[in-house]
Structure 1
Amino acid sequence: MSFLDKPLTTTAFCWRLERRDGVTIGFTTHDRALTIGGLVYRAAPGMLPSSISQTDGFDAASLDVEGASTSAAISGRDLMAGRWDGAAVTIFLVDWEDPDGAQVPLARGELGDVSMRGNGFSAELRGPTAALDRPVVEQTSPECRARLGDKRCRVDMGPRVRVTRIAAVVAEEVVDVAEAAVGENVYAYGRLRWLSGANSGLESGVMASGGLRLTLREPPPFTPSAGDLVEIGEGCDKRVSTCAGRFGNVLNFRGEPHLPGMDLLTRYPGA
């Protein structure tokens, strides 16, 4: 990198953050905004990384990111709502005299635990090797470990997902939708994705449903309004009886309902 050999330094740190819903922003420690690859990296001197070290081992590397929380960039409400959870992060070094030139990659990964501190925030950056900490073999369970409609479950979710609108907000965690599938608790254990309104880009778990009424597991981070566009998907309680009776998919059931568990040790005759 020729710009690293200059007698006077012209380097600047750059941060690229891409949320799971596609929203992408950039920051730089330079005193002016830089345009790199069509993305404007805004001057953010309050964004400070911890020391960055790179090794050739397989230890899970992580570093802390601290910065000021502003409504124009990363607001505290969005952080606490989970909009930035799992966001992809890339940190690199550039020559601010030629920002579209060579780059020195420093770290990449995804945002982990986020905590608020006054008017700022602190976030952990989990590197690619953090995936090595995940269990290699699944534990047994009487309930299915697949998610309804994923590649292991294989249930076709096309006819079980629909886009509709919020017809009325009954309570903090209870809403009525304009259209829904017929049946009791069809959407229980399912997901509601907010496609517009204050909660756009977020998801809410559904605890129960009946007709056009959905009861969410917890109130959404922001107050919804009638007319908000949402996507609702059917859910599954992950029991083998539901898998067989409702979905006819017991061949793909990813659980061990008949395997004796630890409660076998506490059984006694006549119990």
Structure 2
Amino acid sequence: MSFSEYETSLQNGRPIRLYQFQRGPIKWGYTNADRNISHQNIVFRAIEGGISDDGIRQTEDSTADLLTLTVPASMDVAQMFRTVAPGQTVSVTIFDLHYGDNGYLVVWMGLISGVRFKNEISAEIQCQTLAASLERTGLRKTWSRICPHQLYDDACKAPRNTFKSVGLIDRLDAVSIGFANAAAHSDPYYSGGYIEWTSQYGLEQRGIELHQSDLLTIYGGTYGLSIGQEISVYAGCDRLFNTCQTKFNNSINYGGSPHMPGKSPFDGTPVF
């Protein structure tokens, strides 16, 4: 029987749902069935406490089509969001199929937008559709004196590895870390940059709020870091033309308009 025949059958259907989470190259698979299910070379595990959703909705307003998954609080995917959201997005793909049949249907795709721990036993994973992310309003590149590019991206083109320093954390508290190599550059060389390391869940990144001597204040705190851990630290940018020219030698790719006139087109000046 085909998938559609199982779906319309009054007695032969044995529906199960598979939930695939992916962060970079790492994938996790879970199922609402009472046993493990192999699908597309992934073993979707049946977990104690189970996994369920509040129903797939497809309305005209994609931002209202939030999907909530109820899962055990101890599940790996939920634990990634326990204290600080991971540095990479986690995608969600849901498959519907019937036990014993090779046919299947991809019924939902999106991203995790947040996790709420209801208690010590269960958690709720809020998932947003891909369509909702495409409907966000606002312009990313604006006409301004400062550069709108994301540091080291394809528009900025600054060579990331040229401004990279690798070393060990020699001390830390809840908000900052000691990084001896940072003292080789004057303040605030690393402000606006970020640190990077590999955790059990994959690549992690966290922004640097302030650089003072060998001390780096980290956005989101130091959860997940430890003394003696190796990290990579990347120089920051204040998005000004002089910094782009003198620090990064990258003024040809500067995205701002440093010579923009100081008058506003909305102040009544006739020249506009």
TM-score range, shorter chain: 0.7 to 0.9
Paired residue total: 259
Q: How many Å apart are 1:196 and its aligned residue?
A: 4.3
- Cα separation, 1, equivalents of 2:168 and 2:219: 19
- Cα separation, 2, equivalents of 1:128 and 1:25: 23
Residues 137 and 162 of structure 1: CA distance in aligned 2, closer, same or farther (over 3 Å): closer
- Cα separation, 2, equivalents of 1:85 and 1:226: 23
Aligned residue among 162, 173, 176 for 1:174: 176
Q: How many Å apart are 1:103 and its aligned residue?
A: 1.0
Which structure 2 residues correspond to residues 34-183 of structure 1 after superposition, within 5 A?
34-44=37-47, 46-54=50-58, 62-76=65-79, 78-83=81-86, 86-98=89-101, 101-118=102-119, 119-128=122-131, 130-135=133-138, 138-169=141-172, 171-177=173-179, 179-180=181-182, 182-183=184-185
Aligned equivalent of 2:270:
none
Checking the alignment, whether the CA contact within 8 Å between 1:166 and 1:225 is kept in structure 2 is: yes
Residues 201 and 154 of structure 1: CA distance in aligned 2, closer, same or farther (over 3 Å): closer
Q: Which amino acid aligns with 2:110?
A: G
Checking the alignment, whether the CA contact within 8 Å between 1:163 and 1:232 is kept in structure 2 is: yes
Aligned equivalent of 2:27:
24
Aligned equivalent of 1:256:
257
Residues 244 and 18 of structure 1: CA distance in aligned 2, closer, same or farther (over 3 Å): same
Aligned equivalent of 1:240:
241
Aligned equivalent of 1:209:
211
- Cα separation, 2, equivalents of 1:186 and 1:218: 20
> TM (normalized to structure 2)?
0.80
Aligned equivalent of 1:195:
198
Q: Deviations over 1:181-218 (max 9, x none)?
A: 73112211100113248x96432211232454322234
Q: Which amino acid aligns with 1:246?
A: K
- Cα separation, 1, equivalents of 2:62 and 2:263: 34
Aligned residue among 6, 19, 22 for 1:3: 6
- Cα separation, 2, equivalents of 1:237 and 1:60: 33
Flag structure 2 segments of 5+ consecutive residues without an equivalent.
268-272
CA-based RMSD of the aligned residues comes to: 3.1
3-state SS in 1 of match to 2:33:
coil
- Cα separation, 1, equivalents of 2:104 and 2:62: 25
Residues 137 and 200 of structure 1: CA distance in aligned 2, closer, same or farther (over 3 Å): closer
Aligned equivalent of 2:36:
33
Q: Which amino acid aligns with 1:86?
A: T
- Calculate percent identity across the aligned residue pairs: 20
Q: How many Å apart are 1:52 and its aligned residue?
A: 2.1
Q: How many Å apart are 1:134 and its aligned residue?
A: 4.2
Aligned equivalent of 1:13:
17
Residues 237 and 54 of structure 1: CA distance in aligned 2, closer, same or farther (over 3 Å): same
- Cα separation, 1, equivalents of 2:56 and 2:209: 43
Checking the alignment, whether the CA contact within 8 Å between 1:89 and 1:108 is kept in structure 2 is: yes
Aligned residue among 206, 218, 221 for 1:219: 221
Checking the alignment, whether the CA contact within 8 Å between 1:195 and 1:231 is kept in structure 2 is: no
Aligned equivalent of 2:229:
228
Residues 114 and 142 of structure 1: CA distance in aligned 2, closer, same or farther (over 3 Å): farther
